[in-house]
Amino acid sequence: MSTPLNRRTLLRGGLGVAATGLVLPVAGKNAWAAPPTDAEIYGAPTTNPLVWQRADPFVTPRTRGRYYFTASVPEYDRLIVRAAPTIEGLGGAAEAVVWRRPASGKMGGHIWAPELHRIDGRWYLYFAAGDSDDVFRIRMYVMESTAPDPRDVSGWSTPRQIITPWDSFSLDATTFEHRGERYLVWAQSEPEISSNSNLYIARMTSPFTITGNPARIATPTKSWEVQGFRVNEGAAVIKRNGRIFVTFSASATDARYCMGLLTADARADLLDPATWSKNADPVFTTNEQTRQYGPGHNSFTVAEDGETDVLVYHARDYRDIVGDPLYDPNRHARAQRLYWHADGTPLFGVPVGRGGPIVRLSPANASSSFVRHYAYALRVDPQVRELADSQFRFVPGFAGDRTVSLRSVNFPDRYWRVDGTSLRIDPAEDGATFAAQASFRRVPGLANNNGVSLELSDRPGSYVNHDKGHLTVGTASRTRSTFWLS
């Protein structure tokens, strides 16, 4: 009998040494464990930026061993596709231009927000385009390709317009299949409604054509949806846990840009507006601490492990913009793990700043709980209200010599610090005292070498331990001194 084995299972503590038959190094004074990558922990990269100067990013599920990426370019003049075997690899992948706007006439204006979908063995590229005499006369279009690889320019057909009941500003088409039916979701300015764009859904008879009367499922009315412009746009669909979730973006495309969430029961009539409920508050917003501004226009994909959901979105690294934000080129595509609440709804956290892999730590003796910080204290709790309070990065230790420090994700200036016999999280300080108190030796977990254990850099033999919700310092213990990573 063979045992399925992957790095994620080992790091999370799912299998003991006896079960795997592996001989792993014994933790001790000379043991050293290099920080694992996100892919090793849970298959999902934290890549920020993923692709520079690419807004409205869309990443397909892995298809024939490759992820495909498309997005808006700052010039708004062409459609591009990248491919790589990993999500992170998309950042350095070559870019194929599969279509350029004509020099004049129809579709000769702004080219926005492409999405790439594989439907019945063919590729479809949905996008929005204006005309040369009015770049904002935006309408929706789609091209088809029979080529196996969407980077093959020769495979693409001439764009066809998607016709809706109103000949008005329309954009951001996305499509999904549910219970044997295909649907289109898009944003449009409906006559006689005082908004820039609302969200609509309709059934499709083909990848080019909708049928029946569209249902309006979202209109910008809340305070966070009407900053600068009254906008609901950029829908993305993810089906999980018996529900259909639609994220969307709202307000102007500067630091006020943010993401909202619609939810529908998967068994309900998706064309009934009453099926859809909107979260009262935005689910993903500008974060001053991580210096990520205007996150939005996202897509979803699945990580290399085949099960972990990944959020792909764009944001800027600064708040202040000179001129119209639409023409500021520095909206970069980014990727981070999407988490889930216990009730089955998505948990977004904050747009994380630059840096390496992000982890959550669960004590081996309380594996359903997480280390989290609040008001400079570090605790262990079964319920964490703010996801980012429980997210940390291993970084090179202040004390050097193969030590590590743990930095907060949502307060990047703060680090784990030993305070007598307990731990807290504090802003970095100069000097040897802070360096020693905020540095650890990371060794394979003392519980069957799974997970990690943290030995104090200046107190050999003393470890970070968990005891009834508190982090303490003490002698080594197989369960109290081991933390699973997730």
The pLDDT of residue 44: 65
**CATH number for 101:** 2.115.10.20
The mean pLDDT of 439-451, rounded to a whole number, is 89
pLDDT digits (tens, 9 = 90+) for 20-62: 222 233 344 445 555 556 555 655 668 889 999 999 999 999 9
> Do 285 and 246 belong together in one domain?
yes
Note the Cα 302 to chain centre separation in Å: 10
> Do 242 and 337 belong together in one domain?
yes
The mean pLDDT of 77-94, rounded to a whole number, is 96
Give catalytic residue positions. 56, 233
Lowest mean pLDDT segment, chosen from 86-95, 199-208, 445-454: 445-454
Partners of 203 in the beta sheet?
183, 211
* Tokens encoding 85: 């075997």
CB 428 within 8 A of CB 412: no
What confidence category does residue 8 fall into, taking pLDDT thresholds of 50, 70 and 90?
very low
Number of helices and strands in the chain (H, E): 4, 34
> Do 24 and 108 belong together in one domain?
no
Domain assignment present for residue 41? The answer is no
The pLDDT of residue 192: 86
Answer yes or no: is pLDDT of 12 > 50: no
Mean pLDDT for all residues in the chain: 91
The mean pLDDT of 310-330, rounded to a whole number, is 97
The mean pLDDT of 133-161, rounded to a whole number, is 98
DSSP designation for 153:
G
Q: What is the pTM of this model?
A: 0.91
CA distance 380 to 374: 11
Domain assignment present for residue 44? The answer is no
Among 199, 209, 219, 220, residue whose Cα is nearest residue 271: 199
pLDDT digits (tens, 9 = 90+) for 88-102: 999 999 999 999 999
The pLDDT of residue 21: 27
The mean pLDDT of 16-20, rounded to a whole number, is 29
243 residue type, one letter = R
What confidence category does residue 222 fall into, taking pLDDT thresholds of 50, 70 and 90?
very high
75 residue type, one letter = E
> Do 125 and 244 belong together in one domain?
yes
Answer yes or no: is pLDDT of 286 > 60: yes
Answer yes or no: is pLDDT of 167 > 50: yes
CA distance 150 to 155: 8
Domain assignment present for residue 43? The answer is no
> Do 378 and 314 belong together in one domain?
no
What confidence category does residue 249 fall into, taking pLDDT thresholds of 50, 70 and 90?
very high
The pLDDT of residue 480: 96
The pLDDT of residue 141: 98
CB 448 within 8 A of CB 436: no
> Do 84 and 157 belong together in one domain?
yes
CB 337 within 8 A of CB 78: no
Q: Is 76 left (phi over 0), alpha (psi -120 to 50) or beta?
A: left
Transcribe 384-438 into DSSP letters: -SSGGGG-EEEEE-TT-SS-EEEEESSSTTEEEEEETTEEEEEE--SSHHHHHHT
Domain count, the chain: 2
Percent of the chain whose pLDDT exceeds 90: 84
The pLDDT of residue 448: 80
Lowest mean pLDDT segment, chosen from 21-25, 76-80, 284-288, 400-404: 21-25
Which position has the higher pLDDT, 3 or 414?
Answer: 414
The pLDDT of residue 47: 81
**CATH number for 446:** 2.80.10.50
Which position has the higher pLDDT, 175 or 8?
Answer: 175
CA distance 455 to 475: 9
Final residue before a domain boundary, out of 297, 327, 347: 347
Answer yes or no: is pLDDT of 13 > 80: no
The pLDDT of residue 310: 95
What residue numbers bound the domain in which 330 lies?
50-347
> Do 20 and 142 belong together in one domain?
no
The pLDDT of residue 43: 58
The mean pLDDT of 360-367, rounded to a whole number, is 95
> Do 231 and 327 belong together in one domain?
yes
Which residues make Cβ contacts (< 8 Å) with residue 69, sequence separation at least 6?
51, 54, 57, 58, 59, 60, 81, 82, 83, 84, 90, 93, 333
Among 239, 240, 260, 299, residue whose Cα is nearest residue 115: 299
> Do 241 and 370 belong together in one domain?
no
Domain assignment present for residue 1? The answer is no
Transcribe 440-464 into DSSP letters: EEEEE-TTTT-SEEEEETTSTTEEE
> Do 247 and 266 belong together in one domain?
yes
Final residue before a domain boundary, out of 321, 347, 373: 347
Q: Compute the chain's Rg from CA coordinates.
A: 24
The pLDDT of residue 356: 78
> Do 154 and 22 belong together in one domain?
no
The pLDDT of residue 19: 28
Domain assignment present for residue 243? The answer is yes
> Do 327 and 365 belong together in one domain?
no
Final residue before a domain boundary, out of 318, 347, 376: 347
